[in-house]
């Protein structure tokens, strides 16, 4: 499984536009082949900073999505709203600690 985290910093006046864009795109992203979940997180200290957090079956599934027409169109609209260059990480679970309640 691949976990994808993308940090997005927007111009203050564009935050509501981004939220609408994400709300409209979320179902399509979630239904993309190989996507297990997608969510939007907001920084508690900076209202202009958001993170997308998604889980993918594998790198191939993520790359298929990233090369889709839908992603290209949505990313083009999103890039126009940025205040800073986005940052992205693709991660794998490294250590899986036992659930505290089950110990």
Which whole number is the average pLDDT over 6-16?
98
The pLDDT of residue 102 is: 59
Which whole number is the average pLDDT over 6-32?
97
The pLDDT of residue 103 is: 54
pLDDT in tens, 44-102: 999 999 999 999 999 999 999 999 999 999 999 999 999 999 999 999 988 777 877 75
DSSP, collapsed to helix, strand or coil, labels residue 100 as helix
Integer Cα distance of 51 and 14 in angstroms: 15
The token duo for 16 is 């509501």
Distances (CA, A) of 71 to 25, 64, 78: 9, 10, 10
């Amino acid at each position: 499984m691949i976990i994808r985290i993308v940090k997005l910093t927007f111009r203050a006046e564009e935050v509501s536009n981004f939220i609408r864009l994400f709300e409209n795109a979320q179902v399509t992203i979630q239904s993309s082949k190989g996507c297990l979940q997608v969510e939007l997180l907001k920084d508690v200290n900076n209202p202009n900073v958001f993170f997308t957090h998604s889980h993918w079956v594998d790198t191939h599934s993520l790359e298929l999505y990233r090369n889709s027409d839908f992603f290209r169109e949505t990313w083009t609209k999103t890039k126009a709203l940025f205040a800073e260059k986005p940052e992205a990480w693709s991660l794998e679970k490294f250590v899986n600690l036992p659930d505290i309640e089950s110990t």
